């Protein structure tokens, strides 16, 4: 069972509605065999906005989950906080945590969890595999980076308001 499947089962068991939001995409065309099937086509995993494997939600909160092995947690956390490939992952994470209004982190509605799975020798509640949790918060990012994302969200909100006014006039 994959870490993502374990996380999905975990959140379902504790009462959340859960869906896997990562997907596999084809990379390269590859060659075709005699039946027209693709040979050698590589696939690449793509996370939701570059940071989430699944979304778990209840009436009170939305949790984006990056699922991995316990040994892979530090690498995932580093990727989320520092964006080493300059792909915009950190900006997307901050935007997720702030929410569309730019201040939802105070309400605690949206959260981000890095959930690492480890197999133990001794079962607890008949389970050998147990999760470790690391919550990612806005406070872990540089203040300037958070302020820049807040400004971006405010500008986007103004554009949305203007578009709505135009729709009402037309």
pLDDT tens digits along 126-166 = 889 999 999 999 999 999 999 999 999 889 889 988 888 88
Percentage above 90 pLDDT, the chain = 52
Is pLDDT above 90 for 63? yes
Contact criterion met (CB below 8 Å) for 47 and 41: no
Is-contact 89 83, C-beta < 8 A? yes
Query: Considering just the CA atoms, what is the radius of gyration of the chain in Å?
Result: 20
Kindly report whether the global pTM for this prediction surpasses the value 0.85: no
Q: Taking the domains of the chain in order of start, what are their residue ranges? A: 3-169
């Amino acid at each position: 069972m994959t870490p993502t499947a374990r996380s999905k089962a975990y959140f379902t068991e504790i009462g959340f509605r859960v869906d896997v939001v990562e997907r596999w995409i084809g990379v390269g065309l590859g060659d075709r065999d005699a039946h027209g099937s693709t040979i050698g086509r590589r696939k690449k995993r793509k996370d939701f906005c570059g940071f989430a494997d699944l979304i778990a939600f209840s009436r009170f909160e939305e949790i984006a989950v990056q699922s991995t092995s316990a040994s892979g947690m530090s690498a995932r956390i580093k990727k989320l906080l520092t964006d080493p490939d300059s792909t915009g992952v950190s900006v997307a994470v901050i935007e997720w945590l702030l929410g569309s209004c730019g201040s939802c982190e105070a309400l605690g509605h949206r959260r981000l969890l890095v959930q690492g799975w480890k197999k133990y020798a001794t079962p607890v509640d008949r389970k050998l595999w147990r999760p470790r949790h690391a919550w990612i918060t806005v406070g872990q990012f540089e203040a300037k980076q958070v302020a820049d994302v807040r400004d971006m969200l405010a500008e986007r909100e103004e554009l949305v308001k203007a578009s709505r006014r135009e729709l009402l006039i037309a």
